[in-house]
Amino acid sequence: MATPPPSSPRRLSLLQADAALQRPQVNPVDLRSLEYVDPYDHNLMCAICHSPFVCPVRLECDHVFCQRCVNDAMSYQDRDSRVYIVSCPSCRRKIENRAIAPVPKILSHILDDLRVKCPLEFLGCPEVTARGDVQDHVDKYCAYAEVECSSESCLLTVLRKDLVKGGCLHRVVNCEDCERSFMEKDLEIHRLRHCEVVESSCPDCNVPVLLRDIKVHIERCPNAILLCNAAEYGCAFAARRETLDEHLNTCPLAKLVPFLRLQNERLEAHEAALKLLRHKNSILETSFSTIQETLSPSANLIDAPSSSATASDTGPFDSTAHHLLCLHESLREEVSRVSAAVSEVDAKASMMVMNESLRIKEDLSHANAAIGSMRMQLHWLMSARLQNQQRVAMVRAQSSGEGLTSSADAGSSSGSVELPVRRLSDSTRQDTKL
Amino acid sequence: MFASKRLGKELTKIHQTLPPGISLVSASDFKEWQMDIKVLDANPLYLDQTYRLRFRFSNNYPIEAPEVTFITLSSPSRTVPTHPHIYSNGIICLDLLGTQGWSPVQNVESVCMSIQSMLTGNTKNERPPGNEEFVARNTQRPRDIRFVYEDATV
């Protein structure tokens, strides 16, 4: 039996599938805790955790959830009901077969394209990347990810960005000023940000200041030597913060600063526009030259034989291309004129055919009528002759003077005599009709 | 951890938009929230009244149902609505809030709407049978009480 019976609980197989989906990694990124940069479509949201799906799976009823979410929900249902009947969290339909179906690839792709912040953002990593790439980023590139110390004997970790400093950064050293001990990798941050003893002096007023406060001090120091606001436009004046205000009131350049700044901005905008136009122009030029190249060889082909015979023809034209275009134009006109003539001829011919056929039809009907009348006359003639013959035969029989039987014959033949007479009158009537 | 993440997302959505008659009163942490609900139509039982709901979330939310009860306050004046499924100590007998009826797909907003519609549809001005006895002896958490749903129509 390769497959287990469908009724058996699949919890274990679910978990195994879960584990197989994740690649073996030192620090697998928990996709569920990522922070998303852009708002995402609510259809991509798992109804249970309200985040975009992570390892989505499809239940029998076609509802999709994160694998972890649906596992959690089902194990909770199991614990409560103690019988292996679970239902879909969305539609409450009973789930007979807990084997999960995969979701369409396109959904995974859409989810992998969502942009997320690096999970090590709290350490200072500014990276924003697609969700599908975040594991790679942390594993290989993130400067704030922890990697093994470069010293082979050391088992501790350092941030990737500190690796370039070389050597083991886990030796314990003392801060020169406060005498507290730190690992070397933490010393720099300690001295810059936290140490309460290390001193530095203000470059301008020579007052000793804590190194961690020096930035704040310089911004406020009354003795700091500052440059005139118009330094970038040529004013070389520099003075202490207190006396600078007087200079600013008198300095003509300082008063022009807003105007000059505006001019600079406009200049930059124009330069950008010019650059764009130049680019466009170069594109147009290249395309024009390609057009010319495609045109000129064919123009040469036509010109070559004709140039010897009609060299004067090309005279008035600026270039071979122009000449070719003119030629093309005149040919086009010629063709249209010819086609107009053809259609005219066609119309004439069809008109003529129609007239002729009408006349022929009329003639035909005349001929038909004539034939009909001739047939009638023929009939009349034929019947007249038949009548004559019969009459002659009858006269012969009477003259021989035979018995009763022959007189009966005569009676019957005299009945047949009347018929041709009637038909005769008929035919004459038809004749007058014509 | 995921309870607070999910509740944080719900809170952002609640701050943006809520259905009419439902408002957020306090959500200072991810353990307990308070919501005010009003019955919107002209049901004479609850006319012009506002009721206070208290949500308590466990670490297993939303896999586990939140504990939702009506609470009484003196200022502003909030009482427990009279309803055949609401005990006078504020405990609500609603299958949605029990272990059987809860689904992790539900959220604070949907629970509020369910309770709102449960009040809207009610016509009986009475407490559940055995209210006094239940209120006097119940020490259990609402989630662990096994209610018997006798009447599905109310």
Please work out, in degrees rounded to the nearest 5, the angle formed at the alpha carbon of residue A68 by the alpha carbons of A62 and A73.
75
Question: Least CB-CB distance to B6: which of A50, A73, A92?
Answer: A50
**Chain centroid, CA A198 distance in Å:** 62
Cβ-defined contact of B9 to A50 (cutoff 8 Å) = yes
ipTM: 0.78
Let me know if residue B48 belongs to a domain: yes
Neighbours of A51 (CB within 10 A): 21
Of the residues B93, B94, B108, B111, only one is catalytic, namely: B93
What are the residue ranges of helices labelled H in A66-118? Answer: 67-81, 105-113
Evaluate the omega torsion of the peptide bond into residue B76 and state whether it is cis, within 30 degrees of 0: yes
Has residue B78 been placed in a domain? yes
Which of B 46-65 lie inside 8 A of A, CB atoms? 60, 62-64
Domain harbouring B107, CATH code: 3.10.110.10
Task: Please report the DSSP string for chain B in residue order.
Answer: -HHHHHHHHHHHHHHH---TTEEEEE-SSSSEEEEEEE--S--GGGTT-EEEEEEE--TTTTTSPPEEEEE-BTTTTB-PPPBTTB-TTSBB--GGGSTTT--TT--HHHHHHHHHHHHHT-----PPTTHHHHHHH--S-GGG-------TT-
| Number of domains, chain B | 1
Question: Torsions phi, psi of B70, nearest 5?
Answer: -80, 145
Cα A107 to Cα A57, A111, A262, B109: the distances in Å are 11, 6, 50, 28
B2: nearest CB among A32, A80, A89: A32
Amino acid A398: pLDDT: 86
Nearest-angstrom CA–CA distance, A168 and A152: 9
Distances (CA, A) of A344 to A171, A272, A337, A350, A351: 106, 62, 11, 10, 11
Question: What pTM did the predictor assign?
Answer: 0.51
Query: Which of A35, A44, A48 is the mutation pick for testing B, counting most B CBs within 10 A?
Result: A48
Q: Which amino acid is at B39?
A: V
The Cα of A157 is separated from the nearest Cα of chain B by a number of Å equal to 26
How many CB contacts within 8 angstroms connect chain A with chain B?
38
CA-nearest residue to B104 within chain A is: A48
Say if B31 falls within a structural domain.
yes
Q: Per the structure block, which two tokens stand in for B75? A: 């200022």
Mutate to test the interface with A, among B64, B103, B106, B108 (most CBs of A within 10 A): B103
**R_g of chain B computed on alpha carbons:** 15
Q: Which of B5, B63, B100 sits opposite A73 (nearest CB)?
A: B63
3-state secondary structure of A240: strand
Q: Chain A partners of B60 at a C-beta cutoff of 8 Å?
A: 76
| Structural domain that includes position B9 | 3-128
β-strands A94-95, B67-71 pairing: unpaired
Q: What is the pLDDT along chain A (434 residues), one digit of tens a residue?
A: 344 444 444 444 444 444 444 444 467 888 888 888 888 888 899 998 888 998 899 888 889 999 888 888 888 877 766 556 678 888 888 887 777 788 889 999 999 999 999 988 888 888 899 999 988 888 888 888 888 777 777 777 778 887 777 777 777 777 777 777 777 777 777 777 777 766 777 777 777 777 777 777 777 777 777 788 778 887 888 777 777 778 888 888 888 888 999 999 999 999 999 999 999 999 999 999 999 888 876 655 555 554 444 444 445 566 788 888 999 999 999 999 999 999 999 999 999 999 999 999 999 999 999 999 999 999 999 999 999 999 999 998 888 765 444 444 444 444 444 444 455 445 445 555 54
Determine whether the interchain pair B107/A72 forms a contact, defined as Cβ–Cβ distance below 8 Å.
no
Chain A residues whose C-beta sits inside 8 Å of any chain B C-beta: 32-33, 47-51, 69, 72-73, 76, 80, 89-90, 92
To test the contact with chain A by mutation, choose from B61, B63, B96, B110 the residue with the greatest count of A C-beta atoms within 10 A, namely B63
Token digits of residue A50 = 């309200």
- Dihedral sign for Cα B18, B20, B26, B32, please: negative
Inter-chain CB proximity A47 and B99 less than 8 Å = no
pLDDT tens across A177-235, in order? 777 777 777 777 777 777 776 677 777 777 777 777 777 777 777 777 778 877 888 78
Closest Cα in chain A, distance from residue B105 (Å): 5
3-class DSSP state of A123:
helix
Examine residue B144 and state whether it is found in any structural domain, yes or no: no
Q: Find the CB nearest B2 among A49, A73, A76.
A: A49
B95, part of any domain: yes
The answer to whether residue B154 is domain-embedded is no
pLDDT at res. A372 = 95
**Which has the closest alpha carbon to A119: A27, A24, A18?**
A27
CB distance from B42 to chain A under 8 Å? no
In chain B, which residue's Cα lies nearest the Cα of A89?
B103
Q: B104: distance to nearest CA of chain A, Å?
A: 5
**Is B1–A33 a contact, with Cβ atoms under 8 angstroms apart?**
yes
Check CB contact under 8 Å for B9 and A92.
no
With CA atoms as reference, the chain B residue closest to A75 would be: B63
Asked whether residue B98 is domain-assigned, the answer is: yes
Active-site annotation holds for B93:
yes
Q: Enter the DSSP assignment of A50.
A: S
Is residue A116 helix, strand or coil?
A: strand
Q: Which residue has the tokens 């427990």?
A: B80
Query: Which of A185, A155, A150 lies closest to A171, judged by CA?
Result: A185
| CA separation for the pair A109, A298 (Å, rounded) | 51
Residues of A in contact with B14 (CB under 8 A): none
Cα A77 from Cα A37, distance rounded (Å): 34
Q: Looking at A111-253, which runs of residues are DSSP E strands?
A: 115-117, 128-130, 146-148, 157-159, 172-174, 181-183, 199-201, 208-210, 225-227, 238-240
List, in sequence order, the alpha helices (H) in A141-251.
Answer: 184-189, 214-220, 241-250
B152 part of a folded domain: no
Among A210, A173, A166, residue whose Cα is nearest residue A188: A173
A282: helix, strand or coil: helix
19-38 of B, contacting A, C-beta below 8 A? none
